[in-house]
């Protein structure tokens, strides 16, 4: 039974899954879903995932959404190296703790900064007020420090000597603002060093390959947006800027 992954590599959770599968030699058929073209709103995609979001995994009749569930499924099903999710229950709990924190602690902020600095000006043709951008950037710096103090501490990686799922997930999240040329590591050398270690363990070629779409998003042309997609994006923009 073949493994299918439906991903858009502009999305951090999708990049984590893509990198994880490649690093662990898990063979999969890759189905790109272009969020910026609204392909997740197609009838065909809705048939696969009524939540209309990526990532999605399909293996025969088994369909799985939610990146954390997908990553854990892959570690169990494909018996990947134990470093990713070690058998020790306390180490597992530390990874779970990060996974539970990530959505509010990093994901929403990293997503917001890409939108306010790059995508909203591109789509709307006008800048977001500087105060709004400064507030988001300050919150990012606070949460990067929290990540450092609470999750990383003085270890090489979150569980100690080896990379684990939480390191990979955090590293790709923190790349998101780079799409808008905002470097979240600029004021935090310790987190910067950790990030370099993660990239090194992943392998620079694979890491760059997974981030190519994000890092070239500046050249995306929003004038080709379909009206229905544009409408969905405008609703999302309202929730980000309110």
Binding residues (CB under 6 A) for ligand GSH: these are 11, 13, 35, 40, 53-55, 66-67
Q: How far is the CB of 13 from ligand GSH (least distance, A)?
A: 4
Q: Closer CB to ligand GSH, residue 50 or residue 89?
A: 50
Q: How far is the CB of 227 from ligand GSH (least distance, A)?
A: 16
Q: Closer CB to ligand GSH, residue 59 or residue 66?
A: 66
Q: How far is the CB of 129 from ligand GSH (least distance, A)?
A: 24
Q: How far is the CB of 57 from ligand GSH (least distance, A)?
A: 10
Residue nearest to ligand GSH (CB): 53
3-state SS string for the chain: CCEEEEECCCCHHHHHHHHHHHHCCCCCEEEECCHHHCHHHCHHHHHHCCCCCCCEEEECCEEEECHHHHHHHHHHHCCCCCCCCCCCHHHHHHHHHHHHHHHHHHHHHHHHHHHHHHHHHHHHCCCCCHHHHHHHHHHHHHHHHHHHHHHHCCCCECCECCCCHHHHHHHHHHHHHHHHCCCCCCCCHHHHHHHHHHHHHHCHHHHHHHHHHHHCHHHCCHHHCCHHHHHHHHHHHHHHHC
Q: How far is the CB of 141 from ligand GSH (least distance, A)?
A: 22
Q: Closer CB to ligand GSH, residue 38 or residue 184?
A: 38
Q: Closer CB to ligand GSH, residue 55 or residue 105?
A: 55
Q: Closer CB to ligand GSH, residue 124 or residue 236?
A: 236
């Amino acid at each position: 039974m073949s493994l299918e992954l439906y991903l858009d590599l502009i999305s951090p959770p999708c990049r984590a899954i893509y990198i994880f599968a490649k690093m662990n030699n898990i063979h999969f058929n890759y189905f790109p879903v272009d969020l910026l073209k609204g392909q997740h709103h197609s009838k065909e995609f809705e048939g696969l995932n009524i939540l209309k979001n990526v990532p999605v995994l399909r293996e025969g009749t088994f369909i799985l959404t939610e990146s954390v569930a997908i990553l854990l499924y892959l570690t169990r099903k494909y018996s990947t190296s134990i470093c990713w999710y070690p058998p020790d229950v306390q180490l597992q709990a530390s990874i779970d703790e990060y996974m539970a924190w990530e959505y509010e602690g990093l994901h929403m902020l990293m997503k917001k900064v890409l939108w306010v600095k790059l995508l909203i000006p591109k789509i709307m043709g006008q800048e977001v007020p500087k105060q709004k951008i400064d507030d988001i950037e300050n919150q990012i710096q606070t949460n990067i420090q929290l990540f450092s103090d609470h999750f990383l501490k003085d270890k090489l990686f979150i569980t100690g000597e080896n990379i684990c799922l939480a390191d990979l997930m955090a590293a790709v999240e923190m790349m998101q603002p780079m799409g808008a040329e905002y470097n979240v590591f600029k004021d935090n050398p310790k987190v910067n060093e950790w990030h370099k270690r993660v990239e090194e363990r992943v392998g620079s070629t694979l890491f760059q390959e997974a981030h190519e779409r994000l890092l070239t998003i500046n050249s995306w042309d929003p004038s080709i947006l379909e009206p229905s997609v544009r409408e969905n994006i405008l609703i999302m923009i309202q929730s980000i800027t309110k």
